[in-house]
Structure 1
Amino acid sequence: YLPELRFKQLPVEEDHDLSVFSIIQSRHFAYPLKPHQDLIKTDPIAFITGSMTHLEDDEKVALQLVVRRYASRKAVKIYNQLLGKGKTKIDGKLRYRILEYAWVWVPALVVGLLLQSWQIGAAVALILWVPSLFARKEEKELTQLETDLYAEVAAKLGQPLLQTDIRFAVHSADRTGKLVNDFVSSLEPLNTPGFQYLKLRKARFGARLRNYRSRLFTSRLSSVFPFNSSVLSTSELAALFHFPHGIIKTEGIVRSHSRTLPAPVSMRSGGEFDITIGMNKHHGTETPIGLTQAERERHMFVVGGTGSGKTTMLKYQIIQDIRNGKGLAIVDPHGDLAEELLEYIPEERKEDLIYLNPDDLDHPIGVNLLELPEGLTGNDLLREKDRVTESVISVMRKIFSEDDSGGHRIEYILRNTIQTALTLDKATLFTIFRLLNDGKFAKDAIKNLEDKDLRDFWKNELGKAGSMQKVKMAAGITAKIGRFLFSASARAMLEQEKSTINFDEILDGKILICNFSKGRLGEDTSMLFGVTVLAKLQLAALKRSEKKQADRKSFYLYVDEFQNFATLSFTQMLSEARKYKVFLT
């Protein structure tokens, strides 16, 4: 009993060069093969699989057992005689009769030939045979070997019998004979010496019946000729074929080192899933596995080794969300998933699709981190500037190296520089670089500053520092931003003064697919784009606090290698997912 057994059905290829051989019993089917109790120490499967594993290139072997129920009056008669008398003649009855009455027919034959009269020979035979009918015959005692044999015969015939076609198929250029002989030799542990063994049936009419035998093999049909079949008991069939267990050490056997588990009771009891992520197959029962809306609101983290199917599972979830009309964003640092998903966008949702591919320099999409919404004044403008400042700082903090010294000082300078840049028209990420690297540009910008604290920063702190000291103070920021000036894709996307996509609208039900392939963009640039998009989504999510809870649509964010993109402020926002209705996978 193997409850954790799993089957993998392989396609059958029609091979006209396949040689098919039949294996049959050597004597009457009532004679048993070796009892399965005697096979515990020497499992025949080890020998059978061992003979089938050492193959050369382009060689194939296959063992086929075609089984059907067998019913025979002869088997019942033999079994009843064994139960009644303890013995019986199983096969060769005519031969035994001829030998038993040789003293009758031999003299009669000699007399008939000498006198050239069959009537006289028949009369002599009759005279000799009739007295034997009244003679008392002594029962011959059975030897211990015969007693044991008849007991084993009775044990076999007392089980259900199965007509079994044992076929061995070989495809080999020049080793067919060797492979067949090796297989037949591997069956020797099943043999009962002197009484029963499995042998190779010699093929008659070889070339003419070759296609017929191959057709029976590929169609898995029983032979119409009984002499091509064997009759086995259930225990004999189990000894011939059973699944390898732990002690079988044959090379090349594919083993599964995991077991299936039943689906949790909560999933088997039913319920409405928002998405289905797979199918649980356990002991022949299939149970869909999925996540409800409430479960998705607690986020999802997928863990697994390379090639374990994480991306495939995410792809399956994303496709369901797309077809269900959900709003979602995908950040893919490899590019393959993003390109594959384009094929699954239904016609009715193509208007909702935004495909962000920075490598497409002919059609660049603009994303300005320092962009402020139009029409804001007073306190609303101040709040938005604070949000943008924190967002940009979180982006820069993510791309700063861990070994950067003076991190707090760098952040202080960066914060003042961002606030200054936000007072300028058409400011972008690279405006920060110009303020710290171009003295004339910074001087012109400072003239119009109304904020006293910002003026003091530029005049009293940076203004009083020497040239070399200024370089050291700003080096951490200019080095990080300046390297992206030499990236064509970064400049094309981040230097645009106005964003060409609206992240507020994206959160209201659009589809954003980001192809940030490291192989095309470079690892640092890919990270910058990923962090930038997450920062813009964060700003859009924070604005949702101005909407009523009922008006906030659920939005699903899929990020591969999330740990490389997530900023501290973004992860803090996700802890309040129910409030902003942005759910991460």
Structure 2
Amino acid sequence: MNLFIISFSILIFILFFLAFLALDAQVRKKIFKKLLDYRLLVIKVPKYYSMTKSKEAGLSDFCLSFENLLMNLTQIQEPIVFEIAVPTYEQEIFFYIAVPEKHIETASKLIQSSWHGSEVNLVEDDYTIFSPPTITKADYLKLVSHDFLPLRTYLEFAQVSQTVDTLDLILGAFTKVAKENEGISLQIIIKKAPSKINKRIMKVAKKLKEGKSLHEAMRSEFLEIILSLFTLEKEEKKEKKKLEEERKPKEEKVIQGLENKASKPLFYTNIRIVAAAPDENRTETLISSLEKTFHHFSNPPLNEFKIIRVPQKKILNFITEWSFRKFNESQKILLSSQELATIFHLPSAITKTPSIHWLKSKTAPPPVNLPSEGIILGKTKWRGEENLVRLTSEDRRRHIYIIGQTGTGKTTFLTNMIVQDIEQGNGCCFVDPHGDAALKLLSFIPKERIDDVIYFDPSDLNWPIGINMLEYDPNYPEQKTFIINELIEIIDKIYNLRETGGPMFEQYFRNALLLLMDDPALEPTLLEIPKVFADDDFREELIERCKNPLVVQFWTKEAPRVGGELSFENMITYITSKLNPFIANDFIMPIVSQKKSSINFRKIMDEKNIFIVNLSKGRIGDINSYLLGMIIVGKILMAAFSRLDIPEEERKDFYLYIDEFQNVTTNTIATILSEARKFKLDLIIAHQYIGQLTENIRKAVFGNVGTIVSFRIGVEDSEILEHQFAPVFDKTDLINIDNFNAYIRLMINGQVSEPFNIKILPPSKGNPEIVEIVKRVSQLKYGKPRILIQQEVRERFNY
């Protein structure tokens, strides 16, 4: 019978043990499942705008702000993880928070409201501090004395200086990490302690006030009852009186420290340090540097940190818990929000440690009424939610102005838009002063649109495309005036002739053009302008056939009477010396000498062709690039104005993209920006800095453009553009925004939106094999063999 009972008992024990193991396994499985649900967020703080308070905010203000954040985060009701790390292959110090996935939005909003202007982004792939082969060492922190006793807090540090950040004491160790193969991480996991702990601490403080020693005050109530059975009441009172009389000043500090800690929210806390490097000495150097920083928080005679080095045989299990961000009950210590904020808070304006991963520029939410259709400008990401940013055809008619330093993403931005226009069958022109983007654009031409392409490349000396600036449609006599005014603007822009030549130069030049363009028997080009001055017989023939009495009077009465430096003889040399460098060089002459333009600019617009203009300054020179650019832009504008002959609703949108637009536009751009909308010529103009613009053009741009896009700009420009993006962004943001990011003031349904930030989409890949095909088709359709052009010029000039 006894044997049966023993056997049965053993069986029951085994069953209970197995059940315990099964239950333990289930619990562990459940815990790790919850940990896998945690998501890591990287926190970036703007260096100069960490608070909404004044710039005089000090250590106490920043730490108190973080205390409030800790208290607000307790609504999550699950452990929260803070980390500071220098991941391997990084040189900056990153700040992280990890929370369950369902609490990402809550945590993000709380951080951004507490730390004004900060950005919280989901980390898709967790960082690592390991780069095998590596030696890893790890610590966790405990307290030397009882957990109730406080450490040194920021209030005591602030008594010395409000401008010295306690965070710098820790961050200094992170700056010692090498760029490659090394890493270090400080992990702090917190969970709210029950309020009864605060009450217990207050009881301890009360007992100290009653005269008990700290050791006695720390005893539990149960232990007090047991001990009271063996202690005579009389002796206890006598001892109490003696202790009250002999209470030392340090006990007052203990009481004050306990009461202060009890008045704050309390958190059970794990603090872990992990360091990794290729060799043991470097790893020891890294981890020791961080260990030493915690001595700054010692608060004698109350409490201080104790560093517990993890034995190598237990390092794997420790790293597993660190990786999964698992709270370990055996490693926990009790800290107040004040103590935590002293050790860890987000960086601020008083943080001096270099290499912090700051938020260089602020972000802002996109408008709630972002268009759902239209050309894609980029994407916006706000609090984890991504949206495409589009601009409708109607709003594009109010034009787009783009500014940004070289290499910031302007060309990619332009190319992305043009590619979409090409793919959507729109008519467009791209004037590229550098050439690379124009050439690359050819690789995006769909096969079905090859015939729509006109590729203009002045450096192609064998097949020049003809553009006769003096050519106009007699049905639109106003075009003649436009051409003359535009040419005078062009020459003046290049040579500043109005100052050097005076009003008389304009008189000579204007009347020479009128003499040529009024002649019914002539198809003049720019080549004939010097001939008007240099060839007396040619000029006399033109005067005889001229029907304009004012022009005849100028050449027969006024010009011969002018004496001195502005005499006709002197003006001949002056004007021809300015024109001949253009019309006589190998790039310009074959283009401007053709009587009939190879391309019909009005047809390009109406038939939605693709006009790609490669004005590479590196190949044809700056002046040639500017001259041809201004001629082409002038021709396009003239074609747009001729659309008056068709109803507005029948006019098709044509998109004119101009990079470095200040070089290829005259003051006529002011008229275009205000008037071109009705002709459905939609401008997208880009350049590098505002100083490139004249006062008139600058006023025209900011007075008429609907959408403004700013990539990173310089200090001077930020002073001007700040007004366009205030109050959301300021000049610090404008000069610090990363490459391929921009601030935008978007036109939406005819109204300008609040400014927000966008990220430029990466460029798509074209088809390099189609480039030569497109170029060749364009050559054959619009080019003319150089030898034929030279032959025609010789025949016209009899040489």
TM bucket normalised to smaller:
0.7 to 0.9
Q: Distance in 2 between matches of 1:212 and 1:486?
A: 81
Find the counterpart in structure 2 of residue 497 from structure 1: 595
Name the CA shift for 1:484/1:216 in 2 (closer, same or farther; >3 Å).
Answer: farther
**What does 1:508-519 correspond to in 2, within 5 Å?**
508=606, 509-519=608-618
Residue aligned with 2:401, SS: coil
Residue aligned with 2:587, SS: helix
Find the counterpart in structure 2 of residue 48 from structure 1: 170
Q: Distance in 1 between matches of 2:494 and 2:269?
A: 74
Is the aligned partner of 1:166 residue 2:272? yes
Find the counterpart in structure 2 of residue 451 from structure 1: 547
Is the aligned partner of 1:19 residue 2:136? yes
Any conservation in 2 of the 1:23–1:198 contact (CA below 8 Å)? no
Is the aligned partner of 1:184 residue 2:301? no
- State which drifts further: 307-316 or 354-363: 307-316
Name the CA shift for 1:494/1:29 in 2 (closer, same or farther; >3 Å).
Answer: farther
Q: Distance in 2 between matches of 1:234 and 1:352?
A: 68
Find the counterpart in structure 2 of residue 105 from structure 1: none
Any conservation in 2 of the 1:58–1:172 contact (CA below 8 Å)? no
User: Considering only CA atoms, is the larger Rg found in Structure 1 or Structure 2?
Assistant: 1
State the 1:499 CA deviation.
2.4
* Runs of 5+ consecutive residues of structure 1 not aligned to the other structure: 98-129
Residue aligned with 2:631, SS: helix
Find the counterpart in structure 1 of residue 796 from structure 2: none
Any conservation in 2 of the 1:162–1:234 contact (CA below 8 Å)? no
Q: Distance in 1 between matches of 2:292 and 2:609?
A: 69
Q: Distance in 1 between matches of 2:570 and 2:267?
A: 92
Name the CA shift for 1:7/1:451 in 2 (closer, same or farther; >3 Å).
Answer: same
* Runs of 5+ consecutive residues of structure 2 not aligned to the other structure: 1-113, 685-799
- Percent of aligned positions with the same letter in both sequences? 29
Q: Distance in 2 between matches of 1:542 and 1:370?
A: 16
Q: Distance in 2 between matches of 1:73 and 1:309?
A: 54
Is the aligned partner of 1:413 residue 2:531? no
Residue aligned with 1:23, SS: strand
Q: Distance in 2 between matches of 1:39 and 1:347?
A: 71
Q: Distance in 2 between matches of 1:279 and 1:458?
A: 61
Any conservation in 1 of the 2:154–2:339 contact (CA below 8 Å)? yes
Q: Deviations over 1:121-155 (max 9, x none)?
A: xxxxxxxxx99965537556475656764775686
Q: Distance in 2 between matches of 1:203 and 1:154?
A: 34
**What does 1:162-561 correspond to in 2, within 5 Å?**
162-171=268-277, 175-205=282-312, 219-222=323-326, 230=333, 232-253=335-356, 255-256=358-359, 259-260=362-363, 267-269=367-369, 274-275=374-375, 277=377, 295-304=395-404, 310-342=410-442, 344-345=444-445, 349-372=449-472, 380=475, 385-402=480-497, 404-422=499-517, 423=519, 427-438=524-535, 442=538, 446=542, 449=545, 451=547, 453=549, 470-508=568-606, 509-561=608-660
Q: Distance in 1 between matches of 2:324 and 2:446?
A: 44
Within the candidate set 232, 245, 259, 1:136 is matched to 232
Q: Distance in 2 between matches of 1:303 and 1:571?
A: 18
Q: Distance in 2 between matches of 1:346 and 1:209?
A: 62
State the 1:347 CA deviation.
5.6
Q: Deviations over 1:270-322 (max 9, x none)?
A: 56675564566677787876655555434343445556655555445445544
Any conservation in 2 of the 1:23–1:165 contact (CA below 8 Å)? yes
State the 1:572 CA deviation.
2.5
Find the counterpart in structure 2 of residue 4 from structure 1: 117
Q: Distance in 2 between matches of 1:464 and 1:76?
A: 105
Q: Deviations over 1:1-42 (max 9, x none)?
A: 213222476973541225342231144545443345334346
State the 1:482 CA deviation.
0.8
State the 1:433 CA deviation.
3.1
Q: Which amino acid aligns with 2:295?
A: E
Q: Which amino acid aligns with 1:358?
A: P
State the 1:534 CA deviation.
1.0
Q: Distance in 1 between matches of 2:462 and 2:526?
A: 21
Q: Distance in 2 between matches of 1:349 and 1:399?
A: 36
Any conservation in 2 of the 1:395–1:535 contact (CA below 8 Å)? no
Residue aligned with 2:169, SS: helix
Residue aligned with 2:184, SS: strand
Q: Distance in 1 between matches of 2:315 and 2:560?
A: 98
State the 1:516 CA deviation.
1.8
Q: Which amino acid aligns with 2:611?
A: L
State the 1:560 CA deviation.
2.8
Any conservation in 2 of the 1:330–1:557 contact (CA below 8 Å)? yes
State the 1:391 CA deviation.
4.2
What is the Cα-based RMSD across aligned positions, in Å?
Answer: 4.6
TM-score of the superposition, structure 2-length normalised?
Answer: 0.57
State the 1:187 CA deviation.
1.5
State the 1:500 CA deviation.
2.5
State the 1:47 CA deviation.
0.9
- State which drifts further: 178-187 or 385-394: 385-394
TM-score of the superposition, structure 1-length normalised?
Answer: 0.74
Q: Which amino acid aligns with 2:527?
A: F
State the 1:540 CA deviation.
0.5
Q: Deviations over 1:339-397 (max 9, x none)?
A: 45445555655544433332233443322212345xx6xxx275554554444444334
Residue aligned with 1:40, SS: helix
Name the CA shift for 1:199/1:505 in 2 (closer, same or farther; >3 Å).
Answer: farther
Q: Deviations over 1:535-555 (max 9, x none)?
A: 110220121111122211222
Name the CA shift for 1:497/1:132 in 2 (closer, same or farther; >3 Å).
Answer: closer
Name the CA shift for 1:71/1:245 in 2 (closer, same or farther; >3 Å).
Answer: closer
State the 1:563 CA deviation.
3.0
Any conservation in 1 of the 2:268–2:332 contact (CA below 8 Å)? no
Q: Distance in 2 between matches of 1:426 and 1:259?
A: 59
